[in-house]
Amino acid sequence: MQRREKQPRLVQAAIDMFTLPDLRRKLLFTLGMLVVFRFIAHVPLPGVQRDLLASFFKQNLLFGMLDLFSGGAMVRFSLAAMGVYPYITASIVMQLLVPVIPSLQAISQEGEAGQRKINRITHLLTVPLAALEGYGILTLLRSQNPPIIGYLEPLAIATIVISMTAGSMFLVWLGELINDRGVGNGISIIIFAGIVAGLTSTLGRGELALGQNPAGFITFIILGLATLVFIVAFIEAHRRIPVQYARSTFRSGRMYRQSGSTYIPLRVNTAGMIPLIFALALMSLPATVATWFMNPAGQDPNFWNTIYNIFRPDTAAPLGLAYWVPYFLLVIGFTFFYTMIIFEQMNLPKTLQQQGGFIPGVRPGKTTADYLNRTVRLLTFGGALSLALVAIMPFIAREITNITTLTISSTALLIAVGVALDTMKQLEAQLTMRRYEGFLK
């Protein structure tokens, strides 16, 4: 191994990355695309009142999540206001449709060519979804009291919607360029860059919390670090299912039997962050609807004001439990639902049978399918509880520390940790392939 022992491992790995010309080129290209993304995120669209928009995002958790994906571009109402969220929505829709539509299922089984067709359909589906989402956001902002966006001519509305759609598709294109010429998953890295860009405002709120409640702030940091460590272990956890292969080959007029062994890594968290997004969207719906009918500040609260206060994540206990307990249960339910869909698409028993593989001690066919289904359900149960615990960590941290100016975003942490680990593994593979030591042991 090429290593100067005087340098620390991480420092030397970073030096090695920029020493290799092709890897350095990929890293610089990725950084350049992120600079372009941040530039687009600061190009504003006309007609919005910034102070009212900022107040709206503070009160609406669902739009706060969309702003998270766009890296703060939505709160600025820029060209990249919707970020890559329409593409993520299209990808989720396609994952749900492939198992139930025979034609799509047949395409998905065509190997690499079929996967390219599915990706093409996903890109085409992104365009109408982005336009619909852009128009919905514009309509919602215009319907607020007072309106965040004033009256616009139909041509101006069409121009803004087209601009927002083009901005989202441009970011998807940047992500594809990173996949082809850069390092890591492009779409995930763009989301990661948006999360990192939002850290500046978090640091400012952290200074305020430190001055007001030093003990609570220290406890908050400890809980945040513990959550981070838990997420890393949770993402990397998997169970190895041993698999043996027995193949027959014909050479020199004789039949030979060859055997080999490997394993199937079944992850504890197969669903990723998708259950959090589903649960968050569903729990935000009552509060979003309530904003249309509730009385404004200064008037006597009505029924819809009560609904709005109940379904807010920043409501203190015990009233806040009406939000966080259903949220906890929904995350568990969506984790089971989404994991089963993914597992059905993988069709592992059929793949093993076609490749001549079998699980030691388990008969091929239905017995193997039952064994894998039972194993996946047990793993998913532990994964669902872990993911639900991460989901309610903002509530736990707030109740323990009594700090309301800072929050631990479960979705942001999952995305950031997942993207960081995936990118480091890719860099590790690049360095190891060139006989260098990497970041990980």
- Cα 180 to Cα 288: distance, rounded to the nearest angstrom: 39
Q: What is the pLDDT of residues 228-258, one digit of tens each?
A: 888 888 888 888 888 887 655 555 555 444 5
Tokens of 334: 């969506």
Residue with tokens 């993520």: 88
- The model's pTM is 0.75
What average pLDDT does the structure give for the chain? 77
Helix, strand, coil fractions of the chain, as percent rounded to 5: 70, 10, 25
Q: What is the largest CA-CA distance in the chain?
A: 92
First to last CA, the chain: 14
Cα–Cα distance measured from residue 173 to residue 70, given in angstroms and rounded to the nearest whole number: 15
Most confident of 25-34, 50-59, 192-201, 212-221: 25-34
Mean pLDDT score, 30-46: 87
Distance CA 270, CA 296 (A): 43
CA angle 265, 270, 273 (to 5 degrees): 150
pLDDT band at 1 (very low <50, low <70, confident <90, very high): very low
Q: Look at residue 27 and tell me whether its pLDDT is greater than 70.
A: yes
Q: Quick: pLDDT tens for 93-152.
A: 887 788 788 888 888 777 778 888 888 999 999 999 889 888 887 877 777 777 777 777
Q: Which CATH architecture has domain 212-411?
A: Orthogonal Bundle (1.10)
- Judge whether 1-197 and 212-411 match in fold: yes
CA dist 168 and 157 (Å) reads 17
Could you tell me how many helices (H) and strands (E) the chain has, helices first? 18, 3
- Which conformational region is residue 98 in: left (phi greater than 0), alpha (psi within -120 to 50 degrees), or beta? alpha
Q: Is the peptide bond before 318 cis (omega within 30 degrees of 0)?
A: yes
Say how far apart CA 439 and CA 441 lie, in whole Å: 7
Give residue for tokens 């079929």.
114
What is the pLDDT averaged over residues 378-405?
Answer: 81
Rounded distance, CA 225 to CA 210, Å?
A: 17
What does the pLDDT read at residue 272?
Answer: 78
CATH 1.10.3370.10 fits 1-197, yes or no: yes
Burial (0-12, 13-18, 19+ Cβ within 10 Å), 287: buried
Find the angle CA(377)-CA(323)-CA(62) to the nearest 5 degrees. Answer: 90
The Cα-based distances of 226 to 386, 398, 408 in angstroms read 13, 15, 11
| Cα separation, 427 vs 36, whole angstroms | 23
Check residue 12 and give its pLDDT.
67
* DSSP state letters, 119-169: HHHHHHHHHHHHHHHHHHHHHHHHTSSS-SB----HHHHHHHHHHHHHHHH
Give the pLDDT confidence of 117-133 residue by residue, as tens digits.
888 999 999 999 889 88
How much is the pLDDT for 148?
78
Residue 314 predicted with pLDDT over 50: yes
Does residue 207 carry a pLDDT above 60?
no
Domain boundary assignment for the chain: 1-197, 212-411
> Does position 183 have pLDDT exceeding 70, yes or no?
yes
Residue 200 has pLDDT above 70, yes or no: no
Distance CA 431, CA 414 (A): 26
